[in-house]
Amino acid sequence: MELTVRQLRDRLAPFRKRTMRSALGHIAILWTLYAAGFAGALVVPSVIAQVAIGLLTGIFAGSLFMVGHDACHGSYTGRQWLNKILGRFVFLPSYHTYSLWELSHNRIHHIKTNLRGKDFVWLPLAKDEYEARSWLARLVYRIQRTPLGMTFYYPLDIWIPRLIFPRKRYLDRPRLAYTLDRLLVAAFFALQIVVVVLLGASIAGVVCCLVIPWLVFNWMIGFVIYFNHTHPDVPWFANADEWSFYDGTISGTVRLKFPDWSMVIASNIMDHVAHHLDPRIPLVNLRKAQDKLDELCAGQIVVEQWSIRGTFDIMRRCKLYDYSTHRWTDFDGRPTSAIHQVGSTRVEQIAAALK
């Protein structure tokens, strides 16, 4: 018997707990590492060492972002006022506006996962949509869906238009918090520039303390959110009447299994189905929660054991999406996945579309 969303959440409720001491200690360690990396990239004499430090600093910024991700969901500590303060603080190294992230991530992506017209995260184009774009827009789309090119997806499609210079159509209403959070991020970046100038940093130092960490972070988040919801076995939906929260969460989200050591960097975020089912579960407990959910929803969850070969295969096959038949295609419209039969009504619709 298939359990409801509420029943599944009740079964995962024990995984929502975490201690305040471990939460605050985690932030202290990550902020120390980030600050040391930022300063180290400015003062070490070796360019090679600067580049290496810049790469690590980007990873630390990404780890702090994951703390902010938890805090924004209200799951990092048991005190919501503290989550809001900590979330803004740890979002600074990745230059994220807390309230605008909460709007786009919590109140859009999590609510309407994999529903075209609502969910915007790595939304696959249909063939006709792709062909209607300009040659430049098609080129950008192609580049973004490559292992290195995904670095440029997040800043162009999400960070700039939704979090830093938000377009009016992406806002629910004018809010003072949106402006104040943007000013906070701007002030932090200005402070970093002041430090760079006062230390008389070289061009290499500036690149390694600001540019490289930013690129590393963007590749990391591009990778994470792509593989959270992109897979040959994952369906996307064009119409609300063929979508449900259960399908978007259980069928539209991937568990990409990484080694245990990856928790140091990604905080179990790739165990993503349980996170979408119940964002109140802190990431530190997410792997155990996902193991339990795999038992409760046996055969329904897309599970992929990570490998380099598998990574390239997923990106090769998931270029465009045929929303009428529910399957992935290449850029020429050739099917690259099986048909996703979602819901009892979809069987007849797919059969009619294939005639």
Tokens 């005190």 correspond to 79
Q: What is the mean pLDDT of each run of 10 residues along the chain (355 residues)?
A: 88 91 91 96 94 97 96 94 96 97 96 95 97 97 97 97 94 90 98 94 93 97 96 94 92 90 75 96 94 94 94 97 96 95 50 41
Q: The pTM is what? A: 0.92
Contact yes or no for 40/253 (Cβ under 8 A)? no
| Pairing of β 327-329 and β 302-305 | unpaired
Other residues' Cβ atoms within 10 Å of the Cβ of residue 174: 8
Half-sphere exposure (CA, 13 Å, Cβ side) for 315?
A: 21
Q: For residue 345, give both structure tokens.
A: 């009504």
Q: Residue 63 and residue 353: Cα distance in Å, rounded?
A: 45
Domain that holds residue 284: 5-354
pLDDT given at position 341: 78
What's at 114, amino acid-wise?
N
| pLDDT for position 18 | 81
Contact call for residues 125 and 320 (beta carbons, < 8 A): yes
pLDDT for position 263: 67
Backbone phi, psi, residue 283, to 5° = -60, -30
Tell me what pLDDT residue 347 has: 38
Q: Write the pLDDT tens digit of every residue in 280-302.
A: 999 999 999 999 999 999 989 99
73 SS3 class: coil
Total length of the chain: 355
Q: Output phi, psi for 316, to 5 deg.
A: -70, -40
**Pick from 67, 2, 82: nearest CA to 28:** 67
Angle at 158 between CA 16 and CA 333, to 5 degrees: 105
Q: Dump pLDDT digits (tens) for 82-102.
A: 999 999 999 999 999 999 999
The residues, any chain, with a CB within 8 Å of residue 79's CB and separated by 6 or more, are: 20
| Residue 295 backbone class (left: φ over 0; alpha: ψ -120 to 50; beta: rest) | alpha
Cα–Cα dist 225/15, whole Å:
23
Q: Is 232 helix (H, G, I), strand (E, B) or coil?
A: coil
Contact criterion met (CB below 8 Å) for 221 and 65 = yes
Number of structural domains (the chain) is 1
